[in-house]
Amino acid sequence: MTISKQTTRLLAVIEALDNIKEVNGFQTTVLKVLRGVRSVEDFSGELPGLTVYKPLNENSMNVYGGTGSEMSINIWGFTKVEARVNDYSALDKLAADVELLLMSREYNVYLTETFIKSTSFYEGGVQDSFGFFNMQVVMRFDHELTDI
């Protein structure tokens, strides 16, 4: 069974994110990377964790008669925060590590197709022991009309 160009790219991003480890020079060590829309409960206390899902792929005809695709990927990062003492450094470091990885030729084989569109944050409050971010990433690529 073949998989689509979209899925190939999505799986490459998921595999790359698993490299976010302090031993690889990052500021954090991600304990779990999941696919799909998940919540903090899906990590069973194994934080920091990342989840990746693909909400949209838009196609248009390019100037060469092929198809230009723009695939959206959302990366959610969950980590512990210490709101009571105003410490959100773990969340900041996790977001920075994901950005660094996505913009690295070493880890992202689709670097030239990748654009970080936006990142929104929930920094948690005194009632929450975690914070998370939603990073919206766009990957653009051209392909033949018969390919997906």
- Mean pLDDT computed over every residue of the chain: 86
Count of domains in the chain?
1
pTM of the model: 0.86
CB 93, CB 99: distance < 8 Å: no
Q: Assess if residue 76 is contained within a domain.
A: yes
User: What are 94's two structure tokens?
Assistant: 């996790």
User: What are 64's two structure tokens?
Assistant: 């060469």
Residue 113: which domain range? Answer: 5-143
**Residue range 37-56, pLDDT digits in tens:** 988 888 888 899 999 998 76
Q: Assess if residue 148 is contained within a domain.
A: no
Of all helices (H) and strands (E), which one includes residue 136? strand 130-143
